[in-house]
Structure 1
Amino acid sequence: MVSASRSGEERGEENVTRGDGDGAAGVDPQQLWLSPVRSGRGRKPAFSRQAITTAAVALADAEGLEAVTMRRVAAQVGAGVMSLYNYAPDKETLLELMVDHVSGELPATDPLTGDWRTDLKAIGHLQRALMLRHPWLPAALSSRRSLGPRTLAFLERALAALRPTGLDGAAKLEVFAQLTGFVAAHVAHEIAQAATAQSPDRAAAEARYLAAVVADGHHPELAEALAAPGRPLTPEATFTRFLDRLIDGLDTDADTG
Protein backbone atom coordinates (compact mmCIF):
# COMPACT_ATOMS: atom_id res chain seq x y z
CA MET A 1 0.00 0.00 0.00
CA VAL A 2 2.83 2.43 0.86
CA SER A 3 4.60 1.56 -2.37
CA ALA A 4 1.46 2.17 -4.42
CA SER A 5 0.93 5.53 -2.73
CA ARG A 6 4.51 6.60 -3.36
CA SER A 7 4.24 5.53 -6.98
CA GLY A 8 1.11 7.62 -7.41
CA GLU A 9 2.76 10.66 -5.90
CA GLU A 10 5.81 10.29 -8.08
CA ARG A 11 3.71 9.98 -11.23
CA GLY A 12 1.69 13.00 -10.24
CA GLU A 13 4.83 14.97 -9.42
CA GLU A 14 6.33 14.04 -12.78
CA ASN A 15 3.26 15.36 -14.59
CA VAL A 16 3.27 18.56 -12.61
CA THR A 17 6.94 19.19 -13.26
CA ARG A 18 6.66 18.58 -16.98
CA GLY A 19 3.26 20.25 -17.32
CA ASP A 20 1.94 17.13 -19.12
CA GLY A 21 -1.67 16.16 -19.39
CA ASP A 22 -4.72 18.27 -20.17
CA GLY A 23 -3.41 21.07 -17.94
CA ALA A 24 -5.02 24.46 -18.23
CA ALA A 25 -6.84 23.39 -21.41
CA GLY A 26 -9.08 21.34 -19.13
CA VAL A 27 -9.53 23.99 -16.44
CA ASP A 28 -13.09 25.18 -15.99
CA PRO A 29 -12.77 28.87 -15.00
CA GLN A 30 -16.12 28.86 -13.24
CA GLN A 31 -15.15 25.83 -11.19
CA LEU A 32 -11.70 27.26 -10.45
CA TRP A 33 -12.74 30.74 -9.41
CA LEU A 34 -16.35 30.51 -8.28
CA SER A 35 -16.73 27.06 -6.72
CA PRO A 36 -15.76 26.35 -3.10
CA VAL A 37 -12.39 24.68 -2.64
CA ARG A 38 -12.62 20.96 -1.89
CA SER A 39 -10.39 20.18 1.05
CA GLY A 40 -11.21 16.48 1.22
CA ARG A 41 -12.73 14.52 4.08
CA GLY A 42 -11.60 14.37 7.66
CA ARG A 43 -10.37 17.08 9.96
CA LYS A 44 -9.82 20.61 8.77
CA PRO A 45 -6.42 20.86 7.04
CA ALA A 46 -3.66 23.05 8.45
CA PHE A 47 -3.20 24.79 5.10
CA SER A 48 -5.33 26.44 2.44
CA ARG A 49 -5.33 27.34 -1.25
CA GLN A 50 -4.06 30.77 -0.22
CA ALA A 51 -1.14 29.24 1.68
CA ILE A 52 -0.30 26.92 -1.22
CA THR A 53 -0.39 29.77 -3.72
CA THR A 54 1.71 32.03 -1.50
CA ALA A 55 4.31 29.28 -1.09
CA ALA A 56 4.41 28.68 -4.84
CA VAL A 57 4.87 32.38 -5.55
CA ALA A 58 7.71 32.58 -3.03
CA LEU A 59 9.45 29.63 -4.69
CA ALA A 60 9.05 31.12 -8.16
CA ASP A 61 10.32 34.52 -6.99
CA ALA A 62 13.41 32.95 -5.43
CA GLU A 63 14.25 30.18 -7.88
CA GLY A 64 12.11 30.50 -11.01
CA LEU A 65 9.12 28.57 -12.31
CA GLU A 66 11.09 25.36 -12.68
CA ALA A 67 11.39 25.21 -8.89
CA VAL A 68 7.62 25.16 -8.47
CA THR A 69 6.62 21.52 -8.09
CA MET A 70 3.94 20.01 -5.93
CA ARG A 71 6.60 18.32 -3.82
CA ARG A 72 8.42 21.60 -3.12
CA VAL A 73 5.20 23.48 -2.42
CA ALA A 74 3.96 20.69 -0.12
CA ALA A 75 7.19 20.87 1.83
CA GLN A 76 6.76 24.61 2.26
CA VAL A 77 3.25 24.32 3.73
CA GLY A 78 3.90 21.11 5.65
CA ALA A 79 1.45 18.96 3.72
CA GLY A 80 1.49 15.68 1.84
CA VAL A 81 1.93 15.99 -1.90
CA MET A 82 -1.29 14.20 -2.80
CA SER A 83 -3.39 16.41 -0.53
CA LEU A 84 -2.42 19.44 -2.60
CA TYR A 85 -4.26 18.07 -5.63
CA ASN A 86 -7.55 18.96 -3.92
CA TYR A 87 -6.55 22.59 -4.33
CA ALA A 88 -4.54 22.56 -7.59
CA PRO A 89 -4.72 19.37 -9.70
CA ASP A 90 -1.77 20.33 -11.92
CA LYS A 91 0.92 22.95 -12.41
CA GLU A 92 -1.12 24.84 -15.00
CA THR A 93 -3.90 25.37 -12.47
CA LEU A 94 -1.33 26.40 -9.87
CA LEU A 95 0.07 28.95 -12.33
CA GLU A 96 -3.42 30.39 -12.79
CA LEU A 97 -3.67 30.80 -9.03
CA MET A 98 -0.19 32.32 -8.81
CA VAL A 99 -0.82 34.88 -11.55
CA ASP A 100 -4.08 36.00 -10.02
CA HIS A 101 -2.48 36.12 -6.57
CA VAL A 102 0.24 38.57 -7.60
CA SER A 103 -2.25 40.54 -9.70
CA GLY A 104 -3.74 41.57 -6.37
CA GLU A 105 -0.70 43.81 -5.95
CA LEU A 106 -1.98 46.02 -8.78
CA PRO A 107 -4.16 48.93 -7.60
CA ALA A 108 -7.65 48.43 -8.91
CA THR A 109 -9.47 51.37 -7.31
CA ASP A 110 -7.07 54.33 -7.60
CA PRO A 111 -8.75 57.30 -9.30
CA LEU A 112 -8.14 57.85 -13.01
CA THR A 113 -7.11 61.18 -14.51
CA GLY A 114 -9.56 61.04 -17.41
CA ASP A 115 -6.71 61.37 -19.90
CA TRP A 116 -6.70 57.86 -21.33
CA ARG A 117 -3.14 58.01 -22.63
CA THR A 118 -1.81 59.17 -19.27
CA ASP A 119 -3.84 56.52 -17.47
CA LEU A 120 -2.78 53.77 -19.87
CA LYS A 121 0.90 54.70 -19.47
CA ALA A 122 0.49 54.56 -15.69
CA ILE A 123 -1.02 51.09 -16.06
CA GLY A 124 1.95 50.02 -18.17
CA HIS A 125 4.40 51.19 -15.52
CA LEU A 126 2.43 49.35 -12.83
CA GLN A 127 2.56 46.17 -14.88
CA ARG A 128 6.30 46.51 -15.42
CA ALA A 129 6.93 47.01 -11.70
CA LEU A 130 4.84 43.92 -10.91
CA MET A 131 6.72 41.78 -13.44
CA LEU A 132 10.09 42.94 -12.16
CA ARG A 133 9.06 41.93 -8.64
CA HIS A 134 7.99 38.55 -10.00
CA PRO A 135 10.36 37.75 -12.91
CA TRP A 136 8.52 34.50 -13.69
CA LEU A 137 5.33 36.37 -14.53
CA PRO A 138 5.98 37.19 -18.23
CA ALA A 139 6.50 33.50 -18.99
CA ALA A 140 3.47 32.48 -16.95
CA LEU A 141 1.25 34.97 -18.78
CA SER A 142 2.11 33.40 -22.13
CA SER A 143 0.32 30.17 -21.17
CA ARG A 144 -2.48 31.65 -19.11
CA ARG A 145 -6.05 30.88 -20.16
CA SER A 146 -8.41 32.31 -17.53
CA LEU A 147 -8.95 35.50 -15.55
CA GLY A 148 -9.22 35.32 -11.79
CA PRO A 149 -10.98 37.88 -9.58
CA ARG A 150 -7.90 40.04 -8.90
CA THR A 151 -6.99 40.14 -12.57
CA LEU A 152 -10.55 41.03 -13.47
CA ALA A 153 -10.51 43.93 -11.01
CA PHE A 154 -7.44 45.42 -12.70
CA LEU A 155 -8.88 44.75 -16.16
CA GLU A 156 -12.01 46.64 -15.11
CA ARG A 157 -9.83 49.62 -14.21
CA ALA A 158 -8.01 49.46 -17.55
CA LEU A 159 -11.28 49.33 -19.48
CA ALA A 160 -12.52 52.32 -17.49
CA ALA A 161 -9.32 54.18 -18.42
CA LEU A 162 -10.10 53.52 -22.09
CA ARG A 163 -13.70 54.72 -21.89
CA PRO A 164 -12.85 58.25 -23.17
CA THR A 165 -11.51 56.72 -26.41
CA GLY A 166 -14.96 55.76 -27.60
CA LEU A 167 -13.65 52.39 -28.71
CA ASP A 168 -16.05 49.47 -28.60
CA GLY A 169 -15.59 46.76 -26.01
CA ALA A 170 -13.70 44.37 -28.26
CA ALA A 171 -11.23 47.07 -29.31
CA LYS A 172 -10.62 48.11 -25.71
CA LEU A 173 -9.84 44.51 -24.79
CA GLU A 174 -7.43 44.34 -27.73
CA VAL A 175 -5.65 47.52 -26.64
CA PHE A 176 -5.22 46.16 -23.12
CA ALA A 177 -3.95 42.84 -24.48
CA GLN A 178 -1.52 44.71 -26.73
CA LEU A 179 -0.24 46.76 -23.78
CA THR A 180 0.16 43.72 -21.53
CA GLY A 181 1.92 41.77 -24.27
CA PHE A 182 4.32 44.65 -24.88
CA VAL A 183 5.15 45.02 -21.19
CA ALA A 184 5.66 41.27 -20.73
CA ALA A 185 7.97 41.04 -23.75
CA HIS A 186 9.93 44.12 -22.73
CA VAL A 187 10.38 42.95 -19.13
CA ALA A 188 11.45 39.48 -20.27
CA HIS A 189 14.10 41.12 -22.48
CA GLU A 190 15.07 43.50 -19.68
CA ILE A 191 15.58 40.62 -17.23
CA ALA A 192 17.59 38.64 -19.77
CA GLN A 193 19.80 41.65 -20.53
CA ALA A 194 20.44 42.24 -16.84
CA ALA A 195 21.40 38.59 -16.39
CA THR A 196 23.96 38.78 -19.21
CA ALA A 197 25.19 42.34 -18.74
CA GLN A 198 28.26 43.06 -20.81
CA SER A 199 31.51 44.03 -19.17
CA PRO A 200 32.95 47.49 -20.04
CA ASP A 201 35.60 45.78 -22.15
CA ARG A 202 33.00 43.83 -24.13
CA ALA A 203 30.90 46.97 -24.65
CA ALA A 204 33.96 48.85 -25.91
CA ALA A 205 34.75 45.99 -28.30
CA GLU A 206 31.20 46.10 -29.66
CA ALA A 207 31.48 49.85 -30.19
CA ARG A 208 34.78 49.44 -32.10
CA TYR A 209 33.23 46.75 -34.25
CA LEU A 210 30.23 48.89 -35.22
CA ALA A 211 32.50 51.85 -35.94
CA ALA A 212 34.50 49.66 -38.33
CA VAL A 213 31.32 48.40 -39.99
CA VAL A 214 29.88 51.84 -40.72
CA ALA A 215 33.26 53.15 -41.89
CA ASP A 216 33.07 51.02 -45.04
CA GLY A 217 30.24 53.16 -46.43
CA HIS A 218 27.91 50.23 -47.09
CA HIS A 219 25.59 50.97 -44.17
CA PRO A 220 24.66 54.67 -44.45
CA GLU A 221 21.39 54.34 -42.52
CA LEU A 222 23.15 52.63 -39.63
CA ALA A 223 25.94 55.23 -39.73
CA GLU A 224 23.38 58.05 -39.47
CA ALA A 225 21.57 56.30 -36.63
CA LEU A 226 24.76 55.75 -34.64
CA ALA A 227 25.82 59.37 -35.18
CA ALA A 228 22.61 60.69 -33.62
CA PRO A 229 22.75 62.08 -30.08
CA GLY A 230 22.53 59.40 -27.43
CA ARG A 231 19.56 58.97 -25.11
CA PRO A 232 19.37 57.83 -21.49
CA LEU A 233 19.87 54.08 -21.41
CA THR A 234 18.63 53.30 -17.92
CA PRO A 235 16.00 50.53 -17.92
CA GLU A 236 13.32 52.93 -16.67
CA ALA A 237 14.08 55.57 -19.32
CA THR A 238 14.19 53.01 -22.10
CA PHE A 239 10.88 51.46 -21.07
CA THR A 240 9.25 54.87 -20.81
CA ARG A 241 10.33 55.83 -24.35
CA PHE A 242 9.04 52.58 -25.81
CA LEU A 243 5.77 52.80 -23.86
CA ASP A 244 5.23 56.41 -24.92
CA ARG A 245 5.70 55.47 -28.57
CA LEU A 246 3.21 52.63 -28.22
CA ILE A 247 0.49 54.60 -26.44
CA ASP A 248 0.97 57.90 -28.30
CA GLY A 249 0.84 56.00 -31.58
CA LEU A 250 -2.57 54.49 -30.92
CA ASP A 251 -5.08 56.03 -33.33
CA THR A 252 -8.50 55.35 -31.88
CA ASP A 253 -10.25 57.28 -34.66
CA ALA A 254 -8.92 54.84 -37.29
CA ASP A 255 -10.24 51.73 -35.53
CA THR A 256 -13.04 50.56 -37.82
CA GLY A 257 -13.05 46.90 -36.81
Structure 2
Amino acid sequence: MTQGEGAAGVDPERLWLHPAEPRRGRKPSFSREAITEAAVALADAEGLDAVSMRRVATAVGAGVMSLYSYAPDKDTLLELMVDHVSAELPTTGPLTGDWRADLKHLAHLQRGHMLRHPWLPAALATHRTPGPNVLAFLEHALAALRPSGLDGAARLEVFAQLTAFVAGHVSHELATARATRAPERAAAEARYLAAVAHDGRHPELAEALSGPRRPTDPEATFTRFLDRLVDGLDAS
Protein backbone atom coordinates (compact mmCIF):
# COMPACT_ATOMS: atom_id res chain seq x y z
CA MET A 1 0.00 0.00 0.00
CA THR A 2 1.36 3.41 -0.82
CA GLN A 3 1.90 5.91 1.91
CA GLY A 4 -0.63 8.66 2.36
CA GLU A 5 0.01 12.16 3.55
CA GLY A 6 1.09 11.03 7.02
CA ALA A 7 -0.94 10.66 10.20
CA ALA A 8 -1.19 14.45 10.50
CA GLY A 9 -3.05 14.44 7.19
CA VAL A 10 -5.91 12.30 8.49
CA ASP A 11 -8.95 14.47 9.20
CA PRO A 12 -10.39 13.19 12.51
CA GLU A 13 -13.75 14.89 11.97
CA ARG A 14 -14.23 13.24 8.61
CA LEU A 15 -12.90 9.91 9.83
CA TRP A 16 -14.84 9.58 13.09
CA LEU A 17 -17.71 12.07 12.99
CA HIS A 18 -18.62 11.94 9.30
CA PRO A 19 -17.44 8.59 7.93
CA ALA A 20 -17.58 8.19 4.18
CA GLU A 21 -20.59 6.39 2.79
CA PRO A 22 -20.37 4.02 -0.17
CA ARG A 23 -21.37 5.36 -3.53
CA ARG A 24 -24.96 4.99 -4.68
CA GLY A 25 -25.90 1.84 -6.48
CA ARG A 26 -25.86 -1.79 -5.51
CA LYS A 27 -25.16 -2.27 -1.83
CA PRO A 28 -21.56 -3.48 -1.39
CA SER A 29 -20.93 -6.88 0.14
CA PHE A 30 -18.43 -5.41 2.60
CA SER A 31 -18.22 -2.59 5.12
CA ARG A 32 -15.61 -0.36 6.73
CA GLU A 33 -15.59 -2.76 9.67
CA ALA A 34 -14.97 -5.74 7.40
CA ILE A 35 -12.11 -3.93 5.69
CA THR A 36 -10.58 -3.05 9.06
CA GLU A 37 -10.96 -6.60 10.37
CA ALA A 38 -9.26 -7.99 7.28
CA ALA A 39 -6.37 -5.54 7.66
CA VAL A 40 -5.98 -6.40 11.34
CA ALA A 41 -5.93 -10.13 10.55
CA LEU A 42 -3.17 -9.58 7.98
CA ALA A 43 -1.12 -7.43 10.36
CA ASP A 44 -1.52 -9.93 13.21
CA ALA A 45 -0.35 -12.79 11.03
CA GLU A 46 2.35 -11.15 8.92
CA GLY A 47 3.06 -7.64 10.20
CA LEU A 48 2.14 -4.19 8.95
CA ASP A 49 4.19 -4.52 5.78
CA ALA A 50 1.85 -7.28 4.64
CA VAL A 51 -1.16 -4.97 4.71
CA SER A 52 -1.96 -3.71 1.22
CA MET A 53 -5.17 -2.58 -0.41
CA ARG A 54 -4.92 -5.45 -2.85
CA ARG A 55 -4.66 -8.08 -0.15
CA VAL A 56 -7.41 -6.49 1.94
CA ALA A 57 -9.65 -6.31 -1.12
CA THR A 58 -9.04 -9.99 -1.80
CA ALA A 59 -9.92 -10.84 1.78
CA VAL A 60 -13.28 -9.06 1.62
CA GLY A 61 -14.03 -10.11 -1.95
CA ALA A 62 -13.99 -6.65 -3.49
CA GLY A 63 -12.17 -4.66 -6.12
CA VAL A 64 -9.25 -2.56 -4.92
CA MET A 65 -10.70 0.77 -6.06
CA SER A 66 -13.97 0.18 -4.21
CA LEU A 67 -12.10 0.24 -0.90
CA TYR A 68 -10.82 3.78 -1.24
CA SER A 69 -14.11 5.41 -0.28
CA TYR A 70 -13.71 3.77 3.14
CA ALA A 71 -9.94 4.05 3.59
CA PRO A 72 -8.30 6.39 1.05
CA ASP A 73 -4.74 5.77 2.26
CA LYS A 74 -2.57 3.71 4.58
CA ASP A 75 -2.68 6.23 7.39
CA THR A 76 -6.47 6.21 7.48
CA LEU A 77 -6.55 2.43 7.48
CA LEU A 78 -4.01 2.35 10.29
CA GLU A 79 -6.15 4.68 12.38
CA LEU A 80 -9.12 2.39 11.82
CA MET A 81 -7.05 -0.66 12.79
CA VAL A 82 -5.77 0.90 16.02
CA ASP A 83 -9.24 1.91 17.11
CA HIS A 84 -10.73 -1.44 16.12
CA VAL A 85 -8.39 -3.49 18.32
CA SER A 86 -8.71 -0.94 21.14
CA ALA A 87 -12.26 -2.21 21.65
CA GLU A 88 -10.62 -5.20 23.38
CA LEU A 89 -9.46 -2.99 26.26
CA PRO A 90 -11.81 -2.56 29.25
CA THR A 91 -13.48 0.78 29.69
CA THR A 92 -15.65 0.02 32.69
CA GLY A 93 -15.26 -1.81 35.96
CA PRO A 94 -14.51 -0.77 39.51
CA LEU A 95 -11.37 1.16 40.32
CA THR A 96 -9.65 0.60 43.66
CA GLY A 97 -8.91 4.24 44.39
CA ASP A 98 -5.22 3.36 44.63
CA TRP A 99 -4.17 5.15 41.48
CA ARG A 100 -0.76 3.53 41.28
CA ALA A 101 -2.23 0.03 41.57
CA ASP A 102 -4.92 0.85 39.02
CA LEU A 103 -2.36 2.35 36.64
CA LYS A 104 -0.19 -0.78 36.88
CA HIS A 105 -3.23 -2.94 36.17
CA LEU A 106 -4.01 -0.91 33.05
CA ALA A 107 -0.39 -1.20 31.93
CA HIS A 108 -0.52 -4.99 32.22
CA LEU A 109 -3.70 -4.97 30.13
CA GLN A 110 -1.95 -2.83 27.52
CA ARG A 111 1.01 -5.20 27.41
CA GLY A 112 -1.22 -8.20 26.80
CA HIS A 113 -3.08 -6.25 24.15
CA MET A 114 0.11 -5.32 22.30
CA LEU A 115 1.46 -8.86 22.49
CA ARG A 116 -1.74 -10.08 20.82
CA HIS A 117 -1.22 -7.47 18.11
CA PRO A 118 2.58 -7.20 17.66
CA TRP A 119 2.22 -4.46 15.04
CA LEU A 120 0.53 -2.14 17.52
CA PRO A 121 3.61 -0.56 19.18
CA ALA A 122 4.88 0.64 15.80
CA ALA A 123 1.42 1.85 14.79
CA LEU A 124 1.04 3.87 17.99
CA ALA A 125 4.21 5.79 17.14
CA THR A 126 2.34 7.54 14.31
CA HIS A 127 -1.22 7.31 15.69
CA ARG A 128 -2.68 10.81 15.97
CA THR A 129 -6.48 10.66 15.73
CA PRO A 130 -8.03 8.74 18.64
CA GLY A 131 -11.26 7.06 17.67
CA PRO A 132 -14.17 6.16 19.94
CA ASN A 133 -12.63 3.00 21.38
CA VAL A 134 -9.30 4.68 22.10
CA LEU A 135 -11.14 7.58 23.74
CA ALA A 136 -13.19 5.22 25.91
CA PHE A 137 -10.07 3.55 27.28
CA LEU A 138 -8.42 6.95 27.77
CA GLU A 139 -11.43 8.11 29.75
CA HIS A 140 -11.15 5.03 31.98
CA ALA A 141 -7.43 5.65 32.52
CA LEU A 142 -7.97 9.31 33.40
CA ALA A 143 -10.61 8.27 35.94
CA ALA A 144 -8.10 5.84 37.45
CA LEU A 145 -5.64 8.73 37.83
CA ARG A 146 -8.11 11.15 39.43
CA PRO A 147 -7.20 10.16 43.03
CA SER A 148 -3.61 11.20 42.31
CA GLY A 149 -4.59 14.83 42.63
CA LEU A 150 -2.90 15.69 39.35
CA ASP A 151 -4.66 18.17 37.10
CA GLY A 152 -6.17 17.03 33.82
CA ALA A 153 -3.20 17.97 31.67
CA ALA A 154 -0.79 16.13 33.96
CA ARG A 155 -2.99 13.03 33.97
CA LEU A 156 -2.92 13.04 30.18
CA GLU A 157 0.86 13.28 30.27
CA VAL A 158 1.17 10.42 32.75
CA PHE A 159 -1.02 8.15 30.66
CA ALA A 160 0.90 9.06 27.50
CA GLN A 161 4.15 8.29 29.33
CA LEU A 162 2.76 4.94 30.50
CA THR A 163 1.57 3.94 27.03
CA ALA A 164 4.93 4.90 25.51
CA PHE A 165 6.70 2.80 28.15
CA VAL A 166 4.51 -0.23 27.47
CA ALA A 167 4.91 0.09 23.70
CA GLY A 168 8.68 0.42 23.98
CA HIS A 169 8.96 -2.49 26.39
CA VAL A 170 6.80 -4.75 24.22
CA SER A 171 8.86 -3.86 21.16
CA HIS A 172 12.00 -4.89 23.05
CA GLU A 173 10.28 -8.01 24.38
CA LEU A 174 9.29 -9.11 20.89
CA ALA A 175 12.79 -8.44 19.56
CA THR A 176 14.28 -10.46 22.41
CA ALA A 177 11.93 -13.33 21.69
CA ARG A 178 13.03 -13.29 18.05
CA ALA A 179 16.68 -13.30 19.15
CA THR A 180 16.18 -16.40 21.29
CA ARG A 181 15.15 -18.21 18.15
CA ALA A 182 18.68 -17.52 16.84
CA PRO A 183 20.80 -19.11 19.62
CA GLU A 184 24.12 -18.70 17.80
CA ARG A 185 23.67 -14.94 17.61
CA ALA A 186 22.55 -14.76 21.25
CA ALA A 187 25.65 -16.69 22.31
CA ALA A 188 27.87 -14.37 20.26
CA GLU A 189 26.31 -11.30 21.91
CA ALA A 190 26.86 -12.82 25.37
CA ARG A 191 30.52 -13.47 24.60
CA TYR A 192 30.93 -9.94 23.27
CA LEU A 193 29.48 -8.36 26.43
CA ALA A 194 31.66 -10.59 28.61
CA ALA A 195 34.75 -9.47 26.70
CA VAL A 196 33.79 -5.79 26.96
CA ALA A 197 33.08 -6.11 30.67
CA HIS A 198 36.55 -7.48 31.31
CA ASP A 199 38.60 -5.15 29.11
CA GLY A 200 39.28 -2.77 32.01
CA ARG A 201 37.70 0.22 30.30
CA HIS A 202 34.13 -0.35 31.48
CA PRO A 203 34.22 -0.87 35.27
CA GLU A 204 30.61 0.18 35.82
CA LEU A 205 29.38 -2.30 33.22
CA ALA A 206 31.60 -5.02 34.70
CA GLU A 207 30.10 -4.44 38.14
CA ALA A 208 26.57 -4.45 36.75
CA LEU A 209 27.08 -7.71 34.88
CA SER A 210 28.74 -9.41 37.82
CA GLY A 211 25.90 -8.65 40.22
CA PRO A 212 22.94 -10.89 41.08
CA ARG A 213 20.91 -11.83 38.05
CA ARG A 214 17.31 -10.64 37.97
CA PRO A 215 14.49 -12.98 36.89
CA THR A 216 14.32 -13.04 33.10
CA ASP A 217 10.72 -14.17 32.85
CA PRO A 218 9.03 -11.61 30.56
CA GLU A 219 6.12 -10.97 32.93
CA ALA A 220 8.43 -10.53 35.93
CA THR A 221 10.72 -8.22 33.99
CA PHE A 222 7.83 -6.05 32.84
CA THR A 223 6.43 -5.86 36.37
CA ARG A 224 9.81 -4.85 37.80
CA PHE A 225 10.28 -2.06 35.26
CA LEU A 226 6.68 -0.92 35.62
CA ASP A 227 6.98 -0.71 39.42
CA ARG A 228 10.03 1.52 39.08
CA LEU A 229 8.21 3.81 36.69
CA VAL A 230 4.88 4.15 38.46
CA ASP A 231 6.20 4.14 42.04
CA GLY A 232 8.55 6.95 41.06
CA LEU A 233 5.85 9.22 39.68
CA ASP A 234 5.55 12.49 41.58
CA ALA A 235 1.94 13.45 42.19
CA SER A 236 2.79 16.74 43.87
1:244 aligns with 2:223: no
Which string of whole-angstrom CA distances, capped at 9 and with x for unpartnered residues, describes residues 50-102 of structure 1? 11100000000011111111111010000111111111111100000000000
2:61 pairs with 1:54: no
* 1:133 has 2:116 as partner: yes
1:43 aligned onto 2:26: yes
Identity of aligned residues (%): 74
Structure 1 residues 112 and 201, CA gap change in structure 2 (3 angstroms):
same
Separation (CA, whole Å) in 1 of partners of 2:36 and 2:69: 13
Q: How many residues align?
A: 236
Q: In structure 1, list runs of 5 or more residues that go unmatched.
A: 1-16
Question: How far apart are residue 114 of structure 1 and its match?
Answer: 0.8
- Aligned pair in 2 of structure 1 residues 56, 206: CA closer, same or farther (>3 Å)? closer
Q: Which residue of 2 aligns with 1:13?
A: none
The 1:207–1:90 alpha-carbon spacing in structure 2 relative to 1, beyond 3 Å, is: closer
Matched, 1:123 2:106: yes
Letter in 2 for 1:92: D
Aligned to 1:98: 81
Which residue of the partner structure matches residue 202 of structure 2? Answer: 219
Cα deviation for residue 37 of structure 1 reads 3.5
Distance in 1 separating the partners of 2:130 and 2:100:
24
User: Retained in 2: the 8 A contact 1:24–1:93?
Assistant: yes
Q: Is the 8 A contact 2:180 2:186 kept in 1?
A: no
Q: Is 2:13 the counterpart of 1:30?
A: yes
Q: Residues 196 and 34 from structure 1, CA distance in 2 versus in 1: closer, same or farther, beyond 3 angstroms? A: same
Q: Which residue of 1 aligns with 2:216?
A: 233
Distance 1:209 1:93, change over 3 A: closer
Q: Could you list the per-position Cα deviations for residues 113-154 of structure 1 after superposition, in whole angstroms to 9, with x for gaps in the alignment? A: 110000111111111111110011011111111010000000
Aligned pair in 2 of structure 1 residues 235, 48: CA closer, same or farther (>3 Å)? same
Residue 181 (1) aligns with residue 159 (2): no
Q: How does 1:60-209 map to 2 (within 5 A)?
A: 60-197=43-180, 203=186, 206-209=189-192
Following TM superposition, by how much is the alpha carbon of 1:221 offset from its aligned partner in structure 2, in angstroms?
A: 2.1
Question: Hey, what does 2:2 align to over in structure 1?
Answer: 18
Q: Deviations over 1:176-233 (max 9, x none)?
A: 1101111111111111121122656655555555444444544332232222211110
Paired residues of 2:5 and 2:75 also in contact (CA < 8 A): no
Alignment partner of 1:131: what SS?
Answer: helix
CA–CA separation in structure 2 for the residues paired with 1:68 and 1:29: 22
Give distance in 2, aligned partners of 1:144 and 1:193: 25
Match of 1:14?
Answer: none
| C-alpha distance in structure 2 between counterparts of 1:111 and 1:175, whole Å | 20
Whichever residue aligns with residue 169 of structure 2, its letter is H
Flag the 1:214–1:164 CA change in 2: closer, same or farther, 3 A. same
RMSD over aligned Cα, in angstroms? 1.8
Q: 1:180 & 1:99 partners in 2: Cα distance?
A: 14
When residues 215 and 104 of structure 1 are mapped into structure 2, their CA distance, relative to the original with a 3 A threshold, is: same
Mean Cα displacement is larger for which, 43-52 or 219-228?
Answer: 219-228
State the SS of the aligned residue for 2:215: coil
Question: Which consecutive unaligned segments of at least 5 residues does structure 2 have?
Answer: none
TM-score (normalizing by structure 2)? 0.93
- Equivalent-residue separation in structure 2 for 1:227 and 1:33 (angstroms): 54
